[in-house]
Amino acid sequence: LVSYTPVYEGTITVQVFINGLSIKKSPFNVTVYPGKMAGSKSTVTGPGKDSSIAGTNATFIIQARDEAGNPKRKKDEFFRATLTMIRGDPRPDNCENFSQATNENHTTSSDAQYVDDGRYQVTYNITISGIYKLDVISESNEHV
């Protein structure tokens, strides 16, 4: 008995020999699909992952990947992004037109929308300027 566990997705050619002779129908092609989604291997890219302007939409993309880092190719996950204020910006001196930001647990969440090829887009709009912590969690409760 011989076994082989492929790591990377794609089409591979398998050739089997017994006593130095190729078996019937060998070689043959095998299609390898990505494995189960792994949050630790998935990636987040785009301008909205690092910054945004208060009151305007910001976006970023999540690329779902498996344990080997292969991109997932179909819609089979759910992601939620949560931004939690960790420090508000103080109101500028001599300016009464700005709202005073507070550190009162200001949080916003957004569900990711499937785009294609295992990619999901998150759009959010933060209305209070400050420093936020971004958490992206999959439906299997894995952090991305």
**Domains of the chain by residue range:** 43-138
How far apart are the C-alpha atoms of 71 and 114, rounded to whole Å?
14
Q: CA of 51: how far to CAs of 15, 19, 20, 129, in Å?
A: 51, 62, 61, 11
Q: Which fold has domain 43-138?
A: Immunoglobulin-like (2.60.40)
> What pLDDT, on the 0 to 100 scale, is given for residue 7?
86
User: Are 58 and 47 a contacting pair, CB within 8 Å?
Assistant: yes
Which pLDDT tens digit goes with each residue over 8-49?
Answer: 889 999 898 889 898 898 899 999 999 999 999 999 999 999
User: Are 49 and 59 a contacting pair, CB within 8 Å?
Assistant: no
Task: Note the pTM of the prediction, 2 decimals.
Answer: 0.78
Instruction: Give the residues across from 121 on adjacent strands.
Output: 61, 113
